[in-house]
Structure 1
Amino acid sequence: MPTSGAADVAASLRVLVTRPAAQAREWVDGLRAAGLDAQALPLIDIRPVDDPTELHAAWQGLGSVGLVMFVSPNAAEQFFAQRPPGAAWPAALQAASPGPGTTRVLRALGVVEIVEPAADAAQFDSEALWMQLRTQAWAGRRVLVVRGTSGRDWLAERLREQGATVSLACAYGRSAPLLDDAGCTLLQAALDRPAQHLWFFSSSEAVDHLEALAPARNWAAGRALATHPRIAARARALGLGQVLESRPALAEVVACIQSIAS
């Protein structure tokens, strides 16, 4: 249990949720419900692809696919947003999800058959998902990976090694944010008073974009919480003085923030 002094420090921190806007809102609501001061400051912008032809073709070919892997909630949302008229998700088609956020989106979209990492997995990522997929027979099966314009190919490589035919479909683009006035104000406050703010990172790309927004900054007084060791390593490389790590589960993130002592 955190001491009262640590709890006071945590309560005085403003947590800046840097996820894309759609996911940031959910996290802000959850953190506020836990008594924390949370604000959304998305550091990654999500945009639909300019030409949906590839996605329409992917929808039409779902009947011959044995698995569709969605790399993120945005991948699921944008893929279904581009569903052509008359196309339907096959009821028995298995979807793969790297974690609870993507799974929640898929269930809301009506997908029933979902494989995801174990609830107690050390991380929610491709490696943890592969632990659930590796026992299936992949030789000769077709797999579709729905992703953004960039990303890791680690899981696709594992599936190909097991004999699967893997194709990739780009469902959305990711870019640096264009901050509005409120976002600029939040950013400046965090730069001016780093000890009173906590950066909440769920992507190394968000760290990259923060560095671009404030180049040549001394980050030694800054604090961050990262949801994966790779992200934490990137935050430390930026120079942030305190970098905490937590699984991307609300209760664990809240507990991690509350553990902060002055």
Structure 2
Amino acid sequence: MPRPVVITRPAAQAGELASLVAALGREAVLFPLLEIHPLPDPAPLQAALAALERYALVAFVSPNAIDAAFAARPMWPAGMTLAVVGEGSRMALARHGVTDGNATILRPLDSRRSDSEGLLAALDKSLLPGKEVLIIRGENGRELLADALRAAGARVTTVAAYRRSAPVPEAGQFAQLVRLIESSCDWIVTSSEAMRNLVEIVGQAGGEGAVAKMQQQHLLLPHARIAESARLMGFMNITETGSGDEGLLAALQSRP
């Protein structure tokens, strides 16, 4: 029997990928390792979105940032220049009706670098001095993108659009996790924060022995930085995939 595929994305983002996994004839198991919450005070986000026309570039750090921003302002000015860090974010824009046909969407040229570094490599920094740039992200996001754009001469505003937290599993979820660890699964983990939460929750469920068993599971990771985090946590059975669902599915299809 094919191994189950454990999808650890936030619950609201996992359904489409689960359907695609099922279409491959694989069992999709949802076990979210991050929860996404609205901000307690949406006023800063709303103020930034009310002034979109002032920005020469609006950059999103994740699909969550896109969903939160379009929930706050569903209709955006036509012809804006937007930037995303990966294929998942490009697809999130498309779900809100924004495509290469009605906007300029900048993104990493190398699908293996779906991060701020990859986006920075794709930007023409000679066009940035004096330009207003808005970065929409989660709370406590990395400063690398904002710092690099400021160093290039841009006037950068960052605004949080959502809050991340680790889930608090119920007793039944701990039991489910132990069963998954006892079997052989393919685990899709799409952020370093989720990797850290996984190790923490596994330790709560079964202690060091469970963590040791989890470290033997196969991980599908869409980014080199996540893979490096996993290796530092003791995981070695790792497949680095391309960006977005397409890369994850291709990696699954290449395995028996």
Per the shorter chain, which TM-score range?
0.7 to 0.9
Output aligned runs, 1:40-189, within 5 Å: 40-83=30-73, 88-111=75-98, 112-117=102-107, 121-134=111-124, 137-180=127-170, 183-189=173-179
1:246 matches 2:241: yes
- Cα drift, residue 15 of structure 1: 1.0
Aligned length: 246
Query: Counterpart of 1:168 in structure 2: which amino acid?
Result: T
Question: Unpaired runs of 5+ in structure 1?
Answer: 1-10
Shift of 1:234: 1.5
Q: For the aligned residues, what is the CA RMSD?
A: 2.2
SS class of match (1:173): strand
Aligned mates of 1:182, 1:242 — CA distance in 2: 27
The alpha carbon displacement at 1:135 in A equals 5.0
Amino acid at match of 1:209: N
Which aligned pairs between 1:216-255 and structure 2 lie closer than 5 A? 216=208, 217-218=211-212, 219-255=214-250
Q: Is the 8 A contact 1:115 1:132 kept in 2?
A: no
Runs of 4+ in 1 over 6 A off after TM superposition: none
Cα distance, 1:44 vs structure 2: 0.4
Structure 2 counterpart of 1:61, which letter?
A
TM-score, length-normalised on structure 1? 0.85
Find the partner of 1:15 among 1, 5, 30.
Answer: 5
Question: Contact 1:71/1:146 (CA < 8 Å) preserved in 2?
Answer: yes
Q: Distance in 1 between matches of 2:235 and 2:131?
A: 45
Unpaired runs of 5+ residues, structure 2, are none
Deviations 1:6-40 (A, max 9, x none): xxxxx521111111112211211111112222222
Separation (CA, whole Å) in 2 of partners of 1:50 and 1:249 = 30
User: Is the partner of 2:91 in helix, strand or coil?
Assistant: helix
For residues 94-122 of structure 1, the C-alpha deviation after alignment (integer angstroms, 9 at most, x for no partner) is 11111222122223323331423356533
Q: Partner of 1:5 in structure 2? A: none
Greater RCO (Cα-Cα under 8 Å, separation 6 or more): 1
TM-score, with length taken from structure 2? 0.87
